[in-house]
């Protein structure tokens, strides 16, 4: 999807990042004094969500750059940190929760990078292991087309030994990573799905093979890798297709390069259902067997989730017995039935993943103490 | 407007319903009244090249035709009376004379909004004529005018609410018609209508089918044609069939749980409830007793439940 409108917050119009992005986009910019001007424009569109994907607003992050991932106490959370560099995404996946998360949704990129650096320095000085990523409120790599985000972040993380940055994407925009000093403190991560889901539900994202080829390239440049089978979608024949994805993954990627693999099935706030039905009338994903989860989100009926997790775990373990697998937002019972253990057996999910980060990304194990 | 004069009924173009507001096709009462005391109010018509166009008096004309009249007293509008004035007259003649039903209100609003574009003027005019003037409600009611006649009949028969009519209007015409027929035949309340429609719509989407085709399937037709069960039983059976089809795994596990708990012979004083939709892992056991001896007796039954393989198997799922 192409950016057709650029807004710049008056306060940041002379920031070097703003000037650079405008020149790379080659678009006239409208300078605004208040975000409401941008929101009004988006909300006046017939499809504000689509408009939000075509509109880029350069502004200042007035809140924190480092945020705790919004988990819920009903399900096991991994204690992830979000590096809040911007919002929304133009890839247009049908199931994207961001469509109903931001009001209104708009591509926002924060250019006050001086504040970002200060926050990260403060975090690193805590000398505690942290895992953080930019791929929660957006896709980590879509910004590479117009910004120098990776070349800003990767070197910052390379110079410390307690935190690891995960760049999670469905794109192949990785060329910028090639020559960056990363010191294994950046994990290149991909969300994986079956070719059918990618074709029908994941808008303008890269194909499965293209994603895996990009991962292989990153591994050859020394980056640790991660993969997220999330959201897995249950449909007739999905088991065979997910098995093929697992097989293709390990046919191309060396398990030793993988820090972790997460599994999660489709879940969404009830309000998203109408949005998907209206914006993607051909999509059938909302017609699965969903129930209301303990956190109020719609989730597949538990036995269906467990069944798919069990299969995935057995296929992954068959080909990569030592790779760390974890479940995203599930409870102990689902863990036990799917993986045969609960996170508590390994000191809790955060610790389990911290240890993986220490091992694969050469973080300082002293950072595990007290966590 | 000119004075009243008698015109030939054959000169009236009765097939032109442009200004028809009434939904009442019955003329028995009017026939009886005209027969007894004559026609009190003359009809209103307008001269056009193809004959007299009816502005007001559709039922009176039908009644007089039925009575074999050759002529009818009429007020003929001047040729320079424009469409807007005709609409105003047609609406006022109905809206200010008698209570209108939803379809008639919709016809009034449709007519008014065909000549008034400005929303503010439209609401003001509607208000003066005793019609609903809330813009949101007016938009909803106006849409009814475009609905399939079978859905409009459902509204008139009170088997379909305005809210449901709006939903039905969004469906493919045949789907809307098929559902209307079911709703009317089974006399289903709004909430059940909504559930039925959602189940059918979602199954149709998932299975690349249509609501009409689903309702025509043998399994549903057999229930509808079964003369040994009443309407409520038919509704329940159809609903259950659709629930199982829409949520096969959930239905299977729920039925299995019911079967297993039945085997446990819990009696009236013990109830075992699974977590809602089996999400989460907490089951609830409720004991009801009024004396220690009753509690002791329940303890024995509890032991039996705890040792039951059926339950442990279920909990391990």
Pairwise CA distance, residues A209 & A248, whole Å: 8
pLDDT of residue B3: 75
Partner residue facing B279 (CB), from A302, A332, A337: A302
Pairwise CA distance, residues B206 & B200, whole Å: 10
Chain A residue closest to B198 (CA)?
Answer: A287
CB contact under 8 A, B248 and A299: no
Angle between helices B135-144 and B119-128 (to 10 degrees): 80
Q: Which of B204, B243, B257, B277 to mutate to test the interface with A (most CBs of A within 10 A)?
A: B277
pLDDT of residue A78: 87
Lowest-pLDDT range of A23-27, A192-196, B63-67, B150-154: B150-154
Mean of the per-residue pLDDT values of chain A: 95
CB contact under 8 A, B277 and A292: yes
Burial zone of B27 (CB within 10 Å; 0-12 exposed, 13-18 middle, 19+ buried): buried
Chain A residue set in contact with B, beta carbons under 8 Å:
74, 284, 286-287, 289, 291-294, 299, 301-304, 331-333, 337
Q: Identify whether A231 is preceded by a cis peptide bond (ω within 30 of 0).
A: yes
On the question of pLDDT at A287 being above 90, the answer is yes
Residues sharing a CB contact under 8 Å with residue A216, sequence separation 6 or more, in sequence order: A252, A253
Q: Which of A293, A333, A335 to mutate to test the interface with B (most CBs of B within 10 A)?
A: A333
Mean per-residue pLDDT for A307-335? 96
On the question of pLDDT at B260 being above 90, the answer is no
Partner residue facing A294 (CB), from B206, B279, B317: B279
Confidence bin at A315 (pLDDT 50/70/90): very high
What pLDDT, in 10s, does the model give residues B120-156?
Answer: 888 888 888 888 889 888 988 888 888 888 888 888 8
Q: Which DSSP helix (H) or strand (E) runs through B54? A: strand B51-56
On the question of pLDDT at A292 being above 90, the answer is yes
Mean per-residue pLDDT for B159-180? 90
Cα B216 versus chain centre, distance = 20
On the question of pLDDT at A163 being above 60, the answer is yes
Q: Are A232 and A308 in contact (CB under 8 A)?
A: yes
Mean per-residue pLDDT for A41-57? 94
Calculate how close chain B gets to A73, using CA atoms only, in Å. Answer: 12
Pairwise CA distance, residues A20 & B62, whole Å: 78
What pLDDT, in 10s, does the model give residues B14-45?
Answer: 899 999 999 888 999 999 999 999 999 999 99
CB atoms within 10 A of CB A316: 22
CB contact under 8 A, A289 and B253: no
Confidence bin at A290 (pLDDT 50/70/90): very high
CA distances from A73 to A132, A211, A215, B193 (A): 20, 33, 33, 37
Place of tokens 């009949």: B153
Cα A102 versus chain centre, distance = 16
Chain B residue closest to A293 (CA)?
Answer: B279
Judging contacts by C-beta atoms under 8 Å, the chain A residues touching residue B249 are 289, 301, 303-304
pLDDT of residue B316: 67
CB contact under 8 A, B206 and A292: no
Higher pLDDT, B309 or A100: A100
Calculate how close chain A gets to B285, using CA atoms only, in Å. Answer: 19
On the question of pLDDT at B314 being above 80, the answer is no
CA distances from A354 to A10, A138, A260, B135, B213 (A): 41, 23, 11, 58, 55
pLDDT of residue B146: 83
Confidence bin at A370 (pLDDT 50/70/90): low
Judging contacts by C-beta atoms under 8 Å, the chain A residues touching residue B277 are 291-292, 301-302
The encoded tokens of residue A197 equal 């889901």
Calculate how close chain A gets to B201, using CA atoms only, in Å. Answer: 10
pLDDT of residue A205: 97
Q: Are B201 and B248 in contact (CB under 8 A)?
A: no
Mean of the per-residue pLDDT values of chain B: 90
Judging contacts by C-beta atoms under 8 Å, the chain B residues touching residue A332 are 281
Confidence bin at A16 (pLDDT 50/70/90): very high
B276 inside 8 A of chain A by CB: yes
Q: What is the dihedral of CA B128, B130, B133, B136, to 10 degrees?
A: -150
Calculate how close chain A gets to B163, using CA atoms only, in Å. Answer: 17
Mean per-residue pLDDT for B235-241? 96
Question: What region, left, alpha or beta, does residue B240 occupy, with left being phi > 0 and alpha being psi -120 to 50 degrees?
Answer: alpha
CB contact under 8 A, A294 and B280: yes
pLDDT of residue A371: 55
pLDDT of residue B175: 93
B280 inside 8 A of chain A by CB: yes
Calculate how close chain A gets to B249, using CA atoms only, in Å. Answer: 8
Under 8 Å CB pairs connecting chains A and B tally to: 44
Residues sharing a CB contact under 8 Å with residue B256, sequence separation 6 or more, in sequence order: B314
The encoded tokens of residue B215 equal 């309702």
Q: Which DSSP helix (H) or strand (E) runs through B60? A: helix B58-66
Chain B residue closest to A299 (CA)?
Answer: B279
What pLDDT, in 10s, does the model give residues A260-279?
Answer: 999 999 999 999 999 999 99
B37 inside 8 A of chain A by CB: no
Mean per-residue pLDDT for B217-242? 95
A29-32 and A5-9 beta bridge pairing: parallel
Percentage of chain A beyond pLDDT 70 is 99
Burial zone of A147 (CB within 10 Å; 0-12 exposed, 13-18 middle, 19+ buried): buried
CB atoms within 10 A of CB B294: 13
Higher pLDDT, B264 or B176: B176
Mean per-residue pLDDT for B171-187? 91
Report ipTM for this prediction. Answer: 0.88
Three-state SS letters, chain A? CCCCEEEEEHHHCCCHHHHHHHHHHCCCEEEECCHHHHHHHHHCCCCHHHHHHHEEEEECCCCCCEEECCCCCCCECCCCEEECCEECCCCCCCCCCHHHHCCCCCEEEECCHHHHHHHHHHHHHCCCCEEEECCCCCCCCHHHHCCCHHHHHHHHHHCCCCEEEEEEECCCCCHHHCCCCCCCCEEEEEECCCHHHHHHHCCCCCCHHHHHHHHHHHHHCCCCEEEEEEEECCCCCHHHHHHHHHHHHHHHCCHHHEEEEEEEECEECHHHHHHHHHHCCCCCHHHCCEEECCCCCEEECHHHHHHHHHHHHHHHHHHCCCCCEEECCECHHHHHHHHCCCHHHHCCHHHHHHHHHHHHHCCCHHHHCCC
The encoded tokens of residue B313 equal 């198997």
Bridge partners (DSSP) of residue A67 are: A82
Pairwise CA distance, residues A225 & B167, whole Å: 49
Q: What is the dihedral of CA A139, A141, A145, A146, to 10 degrees?
A: 70
Pairwise CA distance, residues B24 & B152, whole Å: 12
Bridge partners (DSSP) of residue A31 are: A8
* Residues of chain B numbered 195-254 and touching chain A (CB < 8 Å): 202-203, 205-206, 246-250, 253
DSSP secondary structure code for residue B12 in this structure: B
On the question of pLDDT at B173 being above 90, the answer is no
Mean per-residue pLDDT for A65-79? 86
Pairwise CA distance, residues A59 & A168, whole Å: 23
Pairwise CA distance, residues A356 & A123, whole Å: 20
Residues sharing a CB contact under 8 Å with residue A211, sequence separation 6 or more, in sequence order: A170, A172, A190, A192
CB contact under 8 A, B280 and A291: no
Pairwise CA distance, residues A262 & A151, whole Å: 26
Residues sharing a CB contact under 8 Å with residue A291, sequence separation 6 or more, in sequence order: A298, A299, A300, A301, A302, B250, B276, B277, B278, B279
CB atoms within 10 A of CB B29: 11
Pairwise CA distance, residues B143 & B107, whole Å: 10
Chain A residue closest to B314 (CA)?
Answer: A303
Calculate how close chain A gets to B38, using CA atoms only, in Å. Answer: 57
CB contact under 8 A, A291 and B206: no
Partner residue facing B253 (CB), from A287, A293, A303: A303
- Polymer length of chain B: 317
Pairwise CA distance, residues B203 & B223, whole Å: 19
CB contact under 8 A, B253 and A301: yes
Q: Are A234 and B248 in contact (CB under 8 A)?
A: no
Calculate how close chain A gets to B149, using CA atoms only, in Å. Answer: 27
């Amino acid at each position: 999807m192409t950016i057709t409108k650029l807004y710049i917050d008056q306060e940041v119009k002379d920031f070097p990042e703003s000037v650079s992005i405008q020149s790379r986009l080659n678009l006239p910019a409208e300078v605004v004094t208040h975000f409401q001007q941008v929101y009004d424009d988006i909300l006046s569109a017939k499809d504000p969500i689509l408009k939000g994907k075509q509109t880029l607003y350069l502004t200042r992050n007035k809140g924190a750059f480092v945020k705790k991932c919004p988990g819920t106490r009903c399900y096991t959370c991994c204690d992830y940190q979000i590096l809040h560099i911007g919002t929304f995404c133009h890839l247009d996946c049908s199931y994207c929760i961001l469509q109903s998360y931001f009001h209104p949704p708009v591509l926002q990129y924060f250019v006050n990078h001086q504040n970002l650096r200060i926050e990260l320095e403060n975090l690193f000085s805590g000398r505690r292991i942290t895992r953080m990523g930019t791929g929660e409120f957006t896709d980590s790599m879509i910004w590479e087309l117009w910004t120098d985000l990776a070349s800003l972040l990767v070197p910052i993380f390379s110079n410390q030994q307690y935190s690891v940055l995960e760049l999670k994407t469905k794109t192949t925009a990785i060329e910028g990573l090639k020559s960056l000093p990363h010191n294994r403190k950046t994990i290149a991560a991909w969300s994986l799905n079956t070719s059918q889901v990618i074709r029908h539900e994941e808008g303008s994202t890269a194909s499965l093979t293209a994603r895996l080829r990009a991962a292989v390239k990153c591994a050859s440049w020394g980056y640790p890798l991660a993969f997220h089978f999330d959201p897995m979608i249950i449909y007739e024949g999905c088991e065979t297709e997910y098995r093929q994805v697992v097989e293709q993954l390990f046919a191309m990627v060396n398990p030793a390069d993988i820090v972790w693999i997460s599994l999660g099935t489709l879940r969404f706030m009830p309000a998203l259902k109408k949005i998907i039905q209206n914006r993607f009338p051909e999509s059938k994903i909302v017609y699965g067997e969903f129930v209301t989860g303990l956190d109020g989100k719609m989730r597949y009926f538990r036995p269906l989730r467990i069944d798919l997790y069990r299969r995935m775990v057995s296929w992954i373990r068959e080909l990569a017995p030592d790779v760390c697998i974890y479940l995203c937002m599930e409870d102990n019972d689902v863990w036990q039935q799917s993986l045969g253990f609960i996170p508590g057996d390994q000191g809790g999910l955060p610790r389990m993943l911290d240890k993986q980060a220490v091992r694969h990304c050469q973080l300082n194990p002293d950072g595990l103490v007290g966590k | 407007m000119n004075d009243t004069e008698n015109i030939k009924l054959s000169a009236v173009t009765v097939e032109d319903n442009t200004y028809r507001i009434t939904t009442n096709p019955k003329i028995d009462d009017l026939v009886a009244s005209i027969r007894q005391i004559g026609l009190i109010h003359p009809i209103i018509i307008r001269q056009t090249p193809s004959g007299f166009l009816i502005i007001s008096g559709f039922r009176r004309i039908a009644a007089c035709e039925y009575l074999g009249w050759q002529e009818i007293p009429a007020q003929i509008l001047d040729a320079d009376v424009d469409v807007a004035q005709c609409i105003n007259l047609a609406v006022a003649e109905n809206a200010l004379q008698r209570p209108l039903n939803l379809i008639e209100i919709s016809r009034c609003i449709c007519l008014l909004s065909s000549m008034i574009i400005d929303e503010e003027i439209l609401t003001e005019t509607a208000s003066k004529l005793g019609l609903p003037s809330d813009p949101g409600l007016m938009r909803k009611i106006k849409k009814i005018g475009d609905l399939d006649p079978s859905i409009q009949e459902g509204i008139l028969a009170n088997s379909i609410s305005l809210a449901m009519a709006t939903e039905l209007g969004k469906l493919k015409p045949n789907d809307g018609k098929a559902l209307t027929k079911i709703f009317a035949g089974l006399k289903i309340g709004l909430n059940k209508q909504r559930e039925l429609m959602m189940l059918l719509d979602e199954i149709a989407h998932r299975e690349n089918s249509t609501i009409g085709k689903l309702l025509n399937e043998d399994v549903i037709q057999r229930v509808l044609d079964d003369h040994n069960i009443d309407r409520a039983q038919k509704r329940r059976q159809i609903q259950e069939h659709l629930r199982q089809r829409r949520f096969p795994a959930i239905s299977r596990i729920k039925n299995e749980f019911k079967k297993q708990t039945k085997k446990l012979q819990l009696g009236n004083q013990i109830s075992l409830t699974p977590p809602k939709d089996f999400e989460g892992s907490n089951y609830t056991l409720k004991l009801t007793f009024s004396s220690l001896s009753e509690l002791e007796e329940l303890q024995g039954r509890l032991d039996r439940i705890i040792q039951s393989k059926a339950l442990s198997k279920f909990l391990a799922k």
